[in-house]
Amino acid sequence: MANVVKTSSLYRFLSHKRKVKALYKKSLRHLEAWCVNLGPGEFCYERTLLRARFDQNKDIQDETKAAQVLRLGEEEFWESQHVMPPVFTNSPYGGVMYERFDKYRIDEYYTDLWANEEKAMFPDYLAKKEEWYKIREKVWPEEMKELEEWDKKNVEQGVPMSDKFPAAKSSDGYPPFWWRTVTRPLMRPSRMKWYPRTGQVY
C-alpha cells in the first residue's frame, strides 16, 4: 500500500494543465446555472468572455506565475460559484446514479482469473496487457533513475517543487509512471454472457 495516495491529497499530484481544464469546466457549468433563466444569448455571451479570460493566460511560460494565476482563478470560482449547479447522474458529487453499478466494477487484473474460453474472446487486449507488464518491469529502473535526476536538477537550479513529471528522454521512450495510464483498470469489465459456440445466454 506504499503507492496509495489519500483522496484529500490527490489534487497535489494532478498536472497544471489538468487543473486548468478542471477549473474551466467547473466555471462553465456554474456559469450555465447562473444564466439558465436569462436565455441562451446571455449564456453564449458570458461563456465567450470566460473563454477569452482563459486564453489570455494560456501562454504563460513561468511556472510560478502560472500557478499563481490558477490559484487566483480557483479563489474567484469559489466566491462566485452557484448555490445549485447542475449535477450529472454519474457524478461523485451528488449524482443520483453514482456507484449504482459498482458491483460490475472490477480491477483489470481479474481478467487473469477468467477461464481459457473467456480469454480466447479477447486475444488482442490480453496480449497487449502482457506486453505492457513486461515493458514495465524492464523500464522501471530507468524511470526511477530519471526521476532522481529530475529532482536533483531542480534542487541545483533552485526550481520550486511542483507536481510536474519529466518527459521521456527520447521520442519513442517511456515517461515515468506511463503504465498507470496505459494499464488503468477498466471501469466496467465483465465476462461475456453470450458464447458463439452454443448461442446460449445466461
Domain ranges of the chain: 14-80, 102-182
- Cα–Cα distance measured from residue 71 to residue 46, given in angstroms and rounded to the nearest whole number: 22
pLDDT of residue 2: 44
pLDDT of residue 187: 54
**Residues near 99 by Cβ (< 8 Å), separated by ≥ 6?**
92
pLDDT of residue 1: 42
Share of the chain above pLDDT 90, in %: 21
pLDDT of residue 8: 59
Average pLDDT over the chain, rounded to an integer: 79
φ, ψ of residue 194 in degrees (nearest 5): -125, 125
CA atoms within 13 A on the CB side of 186: 13
The SS3 call for residue 194 is: strand
As a whole number of Å, the end-to-end CA separation of the chain is 37
The SS3 call for residue 31 is: helix
pLDDT in tens, the chain (202 residues): 445 556 556 667 778 888 999 999 999 999 999 998 888 788 899 999 999 999 999 888 888 999 999 999 999 999 999 988 888 887 777 788 877 766 665 666 777 888 888 888 888 888 888 888 888 888 888 888 888 888 888 888 887 766 677 777 777 778 877 776 776 655 554 555 555 554 544 4
Q: Please check whether residue 80 is in contact with residue 30, taking contact to mean a CB–CB distance below 8 angstroms.
A: yes
